[in-house]
Amino acid sequence: MNADSSGTEKALVSTPLGFIELTAINGELTGLYFRDHTGDESIPASLAYAANQLKQYFRGELKTFDLPLNPRGSEFQRSVWKLLGEIPYGSTTTYGEIAAKLNIRNGARAVGLANGSNPVSIVIPCHRVIGQNGKLTGYAGGLWRKEWLLKMEVSNTMEGLFSQ
């Protein structure tokens, strides 16, 4: 995929969960979106590093991304996304726990909305946030993908414990 008129570069990466479209402006990742269509997996040089890290993640070889990010969002959304980035690989937290860290009383719903508008899923791990009751709740890529990602991370974490 090529750059569009706004200067946004795009790449389509094949993963175990289907194709993922990466978008970047000036070398900074601005989006990661699940796509149900197939296409040419051509990756411009500017997105090769991000595509490689994504593939390593899906192989269980990468637990923390090291990418320049520039997700577009409000100050509140960015504060939520920053906390999402602190959730350890293979772990989960709740919307309410994030709201409490932000000192927002009864803010679980607002956190949920910010979580749902995260444009760089997986890299900013919004899939690691679950409902207060321990159930999986909304995920833009579909709950089946959220469940798959969590199971993969837990599996890779457990393998690491037993291989030491």
| Type of residue found at 145 | R
The closest alpha carbon to 31, from 130, 117, 128, 138, belongs to 117
The structure tokens 């994504």 sit at 54
* Contact of 81 with 118, CB cutoff 8 Å: yes
Alpha helices in the chain (DSSP H): 45-58, 75-84, 95-101, 108-116, 143-162
Q: What is the DSSP letter of 143?
A: H
Which of 126, 129, 149, 150 is an active site residue?
A: 126
* Contact of 145 with 17, CB cutoff 8 Å: yes
Work out the number of other CB atoms within 10 angstroms of the CB of residue 39. 11
Length of the chain equals 164
Is 126 annotated in the active site? Answer: yes
Provide the β-strand partners of residue 21.
12, 33
Q: Which residues are catalytic?
A: 126
